[in-house]
Amino acid sequence: MNGFRVKYSSLAVATLLGAALVAGQSQAEPTPQPSASPSSASPVTTSALTEAATVSTRPTFASIPAKPTDIRAFQAWRGAIADIKAVGVQTAAEGNAGPWILSDTEGWADHERAQAAPPKPMTTPAQGDTDAFVREMLRRATPPPRAH
């Protein structure tokens, strides 16, 4: 327990020294900083400084443009949304009222399968066909000669 006193006393001293350093820094007088001379600056800098020095007028609340008149009012938007929803309800009702016409799907599938042509049977290629195919692929994969 006695070892804690040493540990905490050094922490308290370090905290007091840090606070004194911060207090001294805040009480110090600021030194004037040298200003850059615009004579050695580029023409862009000098023109920017000249523009910054000129007095310009600020916008006022009177310069705010009037409210636009060519836009749809809130109530018109509300009415258009209600119309779109009504058309959706009407379309859904018409779809539900119609008869279910998808019947005898198995018969239709059997009819279409009977009319469809079967795929060609799988055959193994002859060795000559394979060799010709490989030669053609190697010919196509060879880079063209360099032009010097």
Say which range, 45-49, 63-67, 75-79, 126-130, has the weakest mean pLDDT. 126-130
CA count, 13 A, side-chain hemisphere, 84: 6
Question: By mean pLDDT, which of 3-12, 33-42, 45-54, 70-79 is the weakest?
Answer: 33-42
Which amino acid is residue 71, in one-letter code? Answer: I
- Length of the chain counted residue by residue: 148
The more confident residue out of 5 and 105 is 105
Per-residue pLDDT tens digits for 79-124: 999 999 999 999 999 988 888 778 888 998 999 999 998 877 777 7
Q: Which amino acid is at 132?
A: A
Contact 20, 14 (CB under 8 A): no
Considering the chain, what is the average pLDDT of its residues? 83
Residue 38 pLDDT greater than 60, yes or no: no
Closest listed residue to residue 49, CA positions, set 61, 63, 64, 39: 39
Q: Residue 49: which residues within 8 A CB-CB, separation 6 or more?
A: 38, 41
pTM over 0.75, yes/no: no
Per-residue pLDDT, 1: 53
Q: What is the pLDDT of residue 89?
A: 97
Q: What angle do CA 4, 10, 14 make, to 5 degrees?
A: 145
Assign 127 to helix, strand or coil: helix
- For residue 14, what is the enclosing H or E element? helix 2-27
Identify the pLDDT of residue 59: 84
4: confidence class by pLDDT, cuts 50, 70, 90: low
Contact at 8 Å (CB) between 89 and 78?
A: no
CA distance to 8, 12, 28, 39, per residue, from 17 (Å)? 14, 9, 17, 46
